[in-house]
Amino acid sequence: PPGRKVLIVYAHQEPKSLNGSLKRVAVEELSKQGCSVMVSDLYEMQFEPRARRNDIVGCLHNSEEFNYGLETWKAYQRGGLSSDLIEEQKKVQEADLLIFQFPLYWFSMPAIMKGWMDRVLVQGFAYEFPNCYDSGLLKNKLALFSFTTGGSKEAYAKGSISGDIRYLLWPMQHGIMHFCGVRVLAPHICFAPEHVSEEKRKEMLIAWAQRLKTLWKEEPINCSPEWYFK
């Protein structure tokens, strides 16, 4: 619906890749609906994935012994985080929906995107004990993980060697997004795009565009272990 804001956090090195095309389709489709769409193209931005001392501007809370979680929490409270983090937090703050677009690496997200999670979702900004999970600080937002896999759909079925694809979503959807209060829409998974025809890849893009047309009517998934492990 017009006026909704979307942030796409995108991690792929090649714009011509299927991930690049999925990102482009999302930008076009959502813009057509009147949403305003921001993209954080992590490789393009040369986003720093490492959680380091220089994420804090000025004096440390405890200069004797460095504790990243504590220091970023204190820095967030006094407006002392580095500008790249403030920039990303502003985008998250404004967004109604976060879309994470990436290729699955080793059952997880690429390092550059994990680094985005590690550095951007600071205590005080995204969660604050005891305000986690349903009461996390980002509780009025939605998230959607859209990714490609190397293995086929069969390779990620329950009885297969890799196990159910949902097992891999537990740390990402539950441990990060739900922990921060974000409600999660069903993931969008393109299985093994490198092993299918050009025709099939086009169909994947069309299916994504179709889904985006009615995305705002979707209900979030049930945020309990049952969804992942039943």
**CATH code, domain carrying 48:** 3.40.50.360
Q: Where are the beta strands (DSSP E) in the chain?
A: 5-10, 36-41, 97-103, 142-148, 183-184, 188-190
- Listed in sequence order, the DSSP H helices in 132-184 are 165-169
Q: How far, in Å, are 100, 149, 182, 186 from residue 167 at the CA level?
A: 18, 14, 19, 14
- Full residue range of the structural domain in which residue 111 is found: 5-229
Contact between 91 and 40 under an 8 Å Cβ cutoff? The reply is yes
**Amino acid, single-letter form, for residue 13:** Q
Contact between 100 and 113 under an 8 Å Cβ cutoff? The reply is yes
Q: What is the tally of structural domains in the chain?
A: 1
Q: How does pLDDT run along the chain (230 residues), one tens digit per residue? A: 789 999 999 999 999 999 999 999 999 999 999 999 999 999 999 999 999 999 999 999 999 999 999 999 999 999 999 999 999 999 999 999 999 999 999 999 999 999 999 999 999 999 999 999 999 999 999 999 999 999 999 999 999 999 999 999 999 999 999 999 999 999 999 999 999 999 999 999 999 999 999 999 999 999 899 999 98
User: Per the confidence metrics, is the pTM higher than 0.85?
Assistant: yes
Provide the pLDDT for residue 129.
94
CA pair distance 173, 143, nearest whole angstrom = 8
**Amino acid, single-letter form, for residue 118:** D
Sign of the four-CA dihedral 152, 156, 157, 160: positive
